[in-house]
Structure 1
Amino acid sequence: MFGSVTALVPYKKKMLFYYGFLSLLISVFLFTVSLYFFLLNDLDNKAKAAENILISQMEGIFSELKRVVDNAQLSCEEDDVKRLKRLAFYSDTFKEFGLFDRDFRVFCSNYGAVDIPIFSSIVNRIERAAERKTVSLVHSKSLGNPTLFAFYQGENGIGANGLAPPVRFSTLIDPIILPNYFYELTIGKRILSSNRNGIDSDIWNKEVVSLDDWSMRLDVYLPSNLYWQRLHSLIPFIFIGWLFLFFAFYNAHLIGIYFRRSLRHCVRRAIKNAEIEVYFQPVVSLNPGEPLELEALLRWKSLNHGQVSPLVVVKVASQLGLMDELTWLVIRKVGAFYREYPDQLIDIKTSVNVDRFSLLKESFAPKLVSILEEYPELIGRLGLEVTETSALNHEELPVMVSRFEQITALGIGLSVDDFGTGYSGLDFLRRFPYDTLKLDQVFIANLKDDQFTRQVLTSISILAKELGMKLVAEGVEREDQLNDVRLLGVDRVQGYYFCKPLPKDQIITWMTFNNAV
């Protein structure tokens, strides 16, 4: 005992190290990757916010220029100059206004009459623009620095241009982007404003905003030092995430081990103590005067796990190597059922599902003989249902045929369950025809709306008749399904339309009520 406990210690240490290391990796990975994508998303949001500000600003600029043009004339009298001065004085953006004619020559400004040609590159942009507007970065004699010039030409041919200092745009964008990110604002080929100077960090990504109508471009950059600064601040959260994942993984591991061991232990004990219950579902004949048959189905309600699916019970029993014991348990309970209700079950046959690997064992037939000796009530009434979960190889096929011959010699009927969904080959059916073919409920569910399924079932019905086999349709739940399978020549029907699986006393009551006994 002490040796087994000692062996668990290094295993437990190994699992603790494994889950600790795995949790740390996942925590670091989640936070580092999530931070990167968070910054990318934040970068995109900042760029969009800056784009909206620029669009709003530019729309305001050209609305202001349009008001200048709407009341302008091809003259530069004292009143015209005063008007331009007044507009510039009350403008939040422009320090100077000018008017230009159809020949794109500025003829009037805040300072009086002028004659200044507009650069041809700017003229080309105005003429190409849908709304006859553009902006440019030009050296201003009045302001003495590179200045933003905005141009707009009205429908009457008169245009207006306005001069604005570049700081106007940086004061709008800086609060949105700085200090975490950096940007460049470019007009044409010249940079109007830039915050990249002096950056001693790699650029990991950038978002580009293009305002084509105004020949403007905004580049917003994600510097690597921002990522590392944010990641450093997340170290406490990474540690918390590591602890959380570690406890989650390890507890899930312990719970999983407990559940698996507990379920396996409970299934083993239930089989050993014959705690598995057997329910019965009737197989009703569609031919008048023929008695019904029953199929024995296992059911198990565990004290620890509640109602456990029969598929789970079979799977666990197979893993534990207890499929033979489970089969003998069910057959014995069917024998006890016949012994308890001899008069009611005198003409009733009952089939039991059996695993194909159990059938291949040499011990299967002798064990079956011993059970028939124990429960002679089963002779002539017991049937076995075989579900083919994998194809028989060339060595297994003759063994299976031989085993079937031994079983039929004992007066036991044979059925192939879920026919059409497994690997029951035609060659095997011809070498050893079953007594009954049971059509899988998948076919029945698709019978109404699937012409192909109808054709397949028609072919199977013809095959069954040619081989002298009965045909059972499983999973019949509605009257239209019953009518459909009847037209296909099906002999017997099994499903909730008639009765669900019931415990032995209730199935006897059902049979009595339906005049089946």
Structure 2
Amino acid sequence: MNQPKNIMLLILCLLIGLILDVIWVKNNINRTTIDTIQDLDIAIDSHLNKIKTDLTRVDSNTIPCDKNNRKGLEKLNFDSPVIQEISYIENDIFLCSDRVRKSNIKIEDSHLKRFEKHNGYVIYRATSQRRGINALFFMVPTPSGWYRIMLDSRYIDYWIKQYTHRKQLAGCLGNAVDNLICLNSPSPVNDFIYKKQMRSEKYSYLLTVGYTKESLKNAFFMQFPYAAAIIIMLSIFTVLLINVSVNFRRSIKSDIQRGIRNKEFYAYYQPIVNSKNGHWIGAELLVRWLHPKHGVISPAEFIHTAESTGLINAITLHLLERAAYEKTQIQAENNNTYISINVTASMIINPRYVTELISIISKYPSLQHNVVFEFTERETFSSTELAELQLGMQRLREVGIKWALDDFGTGYAGLSTLQSLRFDILKIDRTFVASSVTDAVTHSILDNIAEMGHTLHCTMVAEGVETAEQAEYVDDLEIEASQGYFYAKPMPFDDYLNALSQPAPASRSEAVETNTTTEHQQAIK
């Protein structure tokens, strides 16, 4: 790749990295906020639980406002850093506290309206009548009245701020009854940009934890130097990797072009046999590359590049022309066998390429009969392309070509499409054959595929037959032909021709024995 493209690619990678970092920060913020608010809720709930439990124990063992009761309240106050005073209220009258023996002061309306209509626990913020200080009050009901615990709001405010600040968060404790914000702070926090809230049904408080504009900015920029370093390194690595991949692809492309010029591509032949008796009735031509440095290269290593660059078209033309000479020798041994060559639907849609195929076929009489072109059902095409495909197939039919659909059963071709394309042969995908013996569902699917093939009046070929059980099952379904390692592996043309010159086997088992002998001879070579 040239330098401007590399720069653009690097900028794109950096932008993608930045976007991913923002997404990561957002997810991390969400997770941190949830974890923090849950931990904070557990801590506050636990603290209020302790106050309520200790207060209930004192109340159950004493009479409100007697000496023992006030002594118990005083101990609770002394043992807790957050409690400033514990008062007892009955019939809207402040009767006593841990510090005041008798009072009989009526509770102000500003306090009464916060709890008199509630039966459960209430938390509210107000100014203390006696002390004149702003405080946080926790109301605990009893059968005859209320205990009012005055909490140190400064302590709670400091504690919540410290707990949330270490995670770049802000938090406040609110009243869940009237939704007052931040009871623990005289200055409500209203500038949350991102927040989570959790309501306590038991103690009637509302926790709010989240990020302000300032804390969100701090959270992002604290991680950004590390994220930026990672983004830059990954972006550079990605650009280098893409360059290596592009250069490698270009190298393979150039190598394939050289191989086409030097006619290095040739075919291995895999026999197609009669399912009943094992007689060889044809062969599929599978492309191989005889590389001058690397020897025989399988299609897996170059076919994808050849297809994506369009070089597969030239390779196919070369194989077809080479097959013309080889088929002449095949006819001398057995004039009833056919050869099958793989093409793509895109080739047949191209009128100019079809003309090139027809030119080669017309040039060689051996290609004008017993030649099959097959393309896979995995390829998809539009309704417009379907019409072009029909036209291309018909032009090739007129010069003697028959048609096969490979990987039948794995694609999306409906019955009407199959009828309109008028295939002569349907090749059942190996996945159905491989598991048909052991899997009941696949067994049923294979039955239906075979039945559809017979309905379309097509010759059926089962691919990937590898065991005797599969071979027997294929025969039972009246699938006329089979192809697979059980009968024969792909082999060089000379080996195929030699095997074809041998007497035809009398049975399927004899065909398998013949194939085993042929493979042994190949191994010796």
TM-score, normalised via structure 2 length: 0.74
Q: Offset at 1:503?
A: 3.7
In the aligned structure 2, how far is the partner of 1:123 from the partner of 1:202? 29
> Which residue number in structure 1 is paired with residue 475 of structure 2?
486
User: Relative to structure 2, which stretch is displaced further, 484-493 or 88-97?
Assistant: 88-97
Matches within 5 A, 1:408-419: 414-418=402-406
SS at match of 1:228: helix
Amino acid of the structure 2 residue aligned with 1:352: S
Query: Which residue of 175, 178, 185 maps to 2:165?
Result: 178
> Which residue number in structure 2 is paired with residue 449 of structure 1?
441
Query: Which residue of 273, 282, 298 maps to 1:284?
Result: 273
Q: Offset at 1:462?
A: 4.1
Matches within 5 A, 1:383-422: 383-387=371-375, 397=390, 400-407=393-400, 414-418=402-406, 421=411
Q: Offset at 1:327?
A: 3.8
Q: Offset at 1:496?
A: 3.4
| Contact 1:327–1:354 (8 Å) recurs in 2 | no
Instruction: Tell me, yes or no, if structure 1 residue 192 matches structure 2 residue 191.
Output: no
Q: Offset at 1:67?
A: 2.2
Q: Offset at 1:268?
A: 1.9
> Which residue number in structure 1 is paired with residue 303 of structure 2?
313
Query: Which residue of 454, 458, 462 maps to 1:461?
Result: 454
Q: How has the CA–CA distance of structure 1 residues 488 and 17 changed in structure 2, closer, same or farther, with 3 Å as cutoff?
A: same
SS at match of 2:183: strand
Query: Which residue of 60, 71, 82 maps to 1:70?
Result: 60
| Contact 2:373–2:404 (8 Å) recurs in 1 | yes
Superposed CA offset, 1:227-264 (max 9, x none): 33455556644653453244224313321221221121
SS at match of 2:83: coil
| Contact 1:84–1:97 (8 Å) recurs in 2 | yes
| Contact 1:365–1:407 (8 Å) recurs in 2 | no
Q: How has the CA–CA distance of structure 1 residues 57 and 18 changed in structure 2, closer, same or farther, with 3 Å as cutoff?
A: same
SS at match of 2:217: helix
Q: Offset at 1:38?
A: 3.5
In the aligned structure 1, how far is the partner of 2:396 from the partner of 2:74? 112
| Contact 2:252–2:302 (8 Å) recurs in 1 | no
Instruction: Tell me, yes or no, if structure 1 residue 495 matches structure 2 residue 494.
Output: no
User: Relative to structure 2, which stretch is displaced further, 396-405 or 270-279?
Assistant: 396-405
> Which residue number in structure 2 is paired with residue 8 of structure 1?
none
| Contact 1:36–1:227 (8 Å) recurs in 2 | no
Instruction: Tell me, yes or no, if structure 1 residue 514 matches structure 2 residue 513.
Output: yes
> Which residue number in structure 2 is paired with residue 58 of structure 1?
48
> Which residue number in structure 2 is paired with residue 115 of structure 1?
104
Q: How has the CA–CA distance of structure 1 residues 383 and 195 changed in structure 2, closer, same or farther, with 3 Å as cutoff?
A: farther
In the aligned structure 1, how far is the partner of 2:398 from the partner of 2:492? 32
Q: Offset at 1:68?
A: 1.6
Q: Offset at 1:62?
A: 0.9
> Which residue number in structure 2 is paired with residue 152 of structure 1?
140
Instruction: Tell me, yes or no, if structure 1 residue 265 matches structure 2 residue 254.
Output: yes
Matches within 5 A, 1:245-394: 245-288=234-277, 290-300=279-289, 307-309=297-299, 312-313=302-303, 316=306, 319-321=309-311, 323-329=313-319, 332=322, 335-336=325-326, 345-346=333-334, 349-355=337-343, 357=348, 361-368=354-361, 370-371=363-364, 383-387=371-375
SS at match of 2:485: coil
Q: Offset at 1:136?
A: 3.6
> Which residue number in structure 1 is paired with residue 419 of structure 2?
426
SS at match of 1:281: strand
Cα RMSD after superposing both structures: 4.3
Superposed CA offset, 1:18-63 (max 9, x none): 1343244334434445444434443443333332322122112112
In the aligned structure 2, how far is the partner of 1:183 from the partner of 1:314? 58
| Contact 2:160–2:172 (8 Å) recurs in 1 | no
Superposed CA offset, 1:365-394 (max 9, x none): 45335455xxxxx68985333327657766
In the aligned structure 1, how far is the partner of 2:396 from the partner of 2:92? 105
Superposed CA offset, 1:421-480 (max 9, x none): 559643553xxx74x44344466468652646533421421442xxxx643222334555
Q: How has the CA–CA distance of structure 1 residues 263 and 496 changed in structure 2, closer, same or farther, with 3 Å as cutoff?
A: same
SS at match of 2:487: coil
User: Relative to structure 2, which stretch is displaced further, 307-316 or 248-257?
Assistant: 307-316
Matches within 5 A, 1:82-101: 82-99=71-88
In the aligned structure 2, how far is the partner of 1:252 from the partner of 1:306? 28
Q: How has the CA–CA distance of structure 1 residues 168 and 489 changed in structure 2, closer, same or farther, with 3 Å as cutoff?
A: same
> Which residue number in structure 1 is paired with residue 12 of structure 2?
22
| Contact 2:275–2:474 (8 Å) recurs in 1 | no
SS at match of 2:63: coil
Amino acid of the structure 2 residue aligned with 1:286: S
Q: Alignment length, in residue pairs?
A: 478
Amino acid of the structure 2 residue aligned with 1:383: V
In the aligned structure 2, how far is the partner of 1:459 from the partner of 1:289? 24
Superposed CA offset, 1:135-186 (max 9, x none): 34343344331333333345x6575443333223123212112374434433
Amino acid of the structure 2 residue aligned with 1:175: Q
User: Relative to structure 2, which stretch is displaced further, 358-367 or 267-276?
Assistant: 358-367
Amino acid of the structure 2 residue aligned with 1:194: S
Instruction: Tell me, yes or no, if structure 1 residue 137 matches structure 2 residue 98.
Output: no
In the aligned structure 2, how far is the partner of 1:398 from the partner of 1:330? 21
SS at match of 2:264: coil
| Contact 1:415–1:438 (8 Å) recurs in 2 | no
In the aligned structure 1, how far is the partner of 2:136 from the partner of 2:354? 94
Q: How has the CA–CA distance of structure 1 residues 459 and 206 changed in structure 2, closer, same or farther, with 3 Å as cutoff?
A: closer
Q: How has the CA–CA distance of structure 1 residues 442 and 70 changed in structure 2, closer, same or farther, with 3 Å as cutoff?
A: same
| Contact 1:65–1:162 (8 Å) recurs in 2 | no
Identity of paired residues, percent? 18
